[in-house]
Structure formats: C-alpha cells, structure tokens
Amino acid sequence: MRDAGLPITLIVIGSAWLLWYFRLFPDIDWIIAVGLVLGGIAILYLDGMTKNSIVAGPILIATGIAWALHDRWHVTWFVLLPTLLVLLGVLMLIARRANIPERRVRQT
C-alpha cells in the first residue's frame, strides 16, 4: 500500500465529523477519540515507518487523546491545540531524518 497516511487520515476525520454532526454519536465523544487513535495505529501498521506515517499516525493518536481529555476532563482547547502543534512540529523534524525511508520498502 502506497502512502496510505493522508487518505486514512481524511477518511477517519471526515467520518467522525459527519457522524458527530448528524448526532449519531450523541454524547459519546469517546468513540470519536477511539476512532482517531485506531486510525493512527492503522496508518503506522499499514505504511510502516515512513516519512509520512511517522507524522500522520502519531498526530492522529494524539488528536484522539486530546479529544478524550477535552470531553472527559474538560481540558480547554487553548491548551490542547498548541500542544498538538508542538507535537506536529517535533514529528515533522523527526521525519526529516535521513534514516527514515520516503516510502515503504517492498519485500520480495
């Protein structure tokens, strides 16, 4: 599978957003949080360690955790969003390392 990170991220976030908007998850925000975490894990599993997945997977996982923190313990987004931005920047710097492959290496 070639760079599944972005498509999986868009599908997970878009699906969660639509289901939440249509109230199919009434007051069950933890399902959205779990979906985001599972989406991040799926990216890491399907793509392996690539420059794309090393950013997309953990940021989805962190977003799911942030969603749960906001819902369960009322941690404000004014704290969570800057934290997510810092994490995103750190992950982007890590992805620049030369020993992380651009694409998943196919095994023959």
Domain boundaries, the chain: 5-95
Across all residues in the chain, what is the average pLDDT? 89
Q: How many helices (H) does the chain have, and how many strands (E)? A: 4, 0
Predicted confidence at residue 108, as pLDDT, reads: 62
36, 37, 38, 43: which is closest to 57 by C-alpha? 43
CB atoms within 10 A of CB 96: 9
> CA-based Rg of the chain, rounded to a whole angstrom?
15
Higher pLDDT, 21 or 87: 87
**Residue among 90, 1, 27, 29 at smallest CA distance from 54:** 90
Return the pLDDT at 64: 96
- Show the tokens assigned to 74: 């009322």
Question: pLDDT band at residue 9, thresholds of 50, 70 and 90?
Answer: confident
SS3 56: helix
Integer Cα distance of 50 and 94 in angstroms = 11
